[in-house]
Structure 1
Amino acid sequence: MDRKFVLSAFSYGILGLMLGIYMAASKNHGQLVTHAHIMLIGFVLSFIYGLCHRLWLNNSHSKLAVIQFYLHQIGSVIVFVGLFLLYGQFIALETIDPILAGGSIIVFIGIVLMMVEFIRTGRAH
């Protein structure tokens, strides 16, 4: 599971940096919020999850770990696409807001599940 998270982290990092380079080159920083979310939720949090699996969770492939991985990925993509559409002015806030809220809740559930994995691992030792 550690490798999956680290590879997804680098993928998000590349995507976020490409967006950042585009904003710098075009001098249009309208996607700053999207860029920040890709880098923090996508790159940083995914990388931290990968480290957690490698260092403390013994690279768990439990059912909970798999569910947590996919929830994080799904929620993250929903948030990134929603923010891109919102800040690119492709869609109105009233339309995208419930979708962004849902994506954020999915990412939140993912971090709660990571905490549950840590609690379970601590009890096993």
Structure 2
Amino acid sequence: MGIKFIKISVCYFVVGICLGMYMSMTEKFDFTPVHVHINLLGWTAMTLAGLIYVAFPTAAETTLAKVHFWLHNIALPIMMIGLAFLVSGVKSAGPAVAVGGTLMVLGIILFAINILKNVKN
């Protein structure tokens, strides 16, 4: 699972950086929250999770790791698309942000449980 996390995190990194470049070129920074969350939750958090899973393969082989991977990668696009609409003035996009955010929190809680349970000396 570690390598999968690292590889997909690079995709989020490219998306986040391209969004940042777009905002810089147009001098319109409305999507800053989207840019920040994609880079933090997509690039940074997933890379770190991947590195932890590479370092501790016992944790990476669990069902918790697989569920974490899928929850993270379902939640982030839902949350970021919703957030992009929300900051663009579409108030009805709030539930998408809430659903994506809730799924993200659940995935991260499962990650924490997995690490606390399966990472040992």
TM-score with structure 1 setting the length: 0.89
Deviations 1:61-95 (A, max 9, x none): 32221111000111111111111222234xx22x1
Partner of 1:34: 34
Partner of 2:109: 112
CA–CA distance in structure 2, aligned partners of residues 4 and 67 of structure 1:
13
Alignment: residue pair count: 121
- Name the SS of the counterpart of 2:61 in structure 1: coil
Deviations 1:86-123 (A, max 9, x none): 2234xx22x11122111111110111101111122147
Partner of 2:99: 102
TM-score with structure 2 setting the length: 0.91
Measured at CA, do residues 113 and 59 of structure 1 come closer, stay the same or move farther in structure 2, by a change above 3 Å? closer
Instruction: Answer yes or no: is the 8 Å Cα contact 1:37–1:80 preserved in 2.
Output: yes
- Name the SS of the counterpart of 1:113 in structure 2: helix
CA–CA distance in structure 1, aligned partners of residues 38 and 112 of structure 2:
22
Q: Which amino acid aligns with 1:44?
A: T
Instruction: Answer yes or no: is the 8 Å Cα contact 1:2–1:51 preserved in 2.
Output: yes
> How much has 1:10 moved relative to structure 2?
0.5
Runs of 5+ in structure 1 lacking a partner? none
* Map 1:65-80 → 2, pairs under 5 A: 65-80=65-80
Instruction: Answer yes or no: is the 8 Å Cα contact 1:57–1:121 preserved in 2.
Output: no
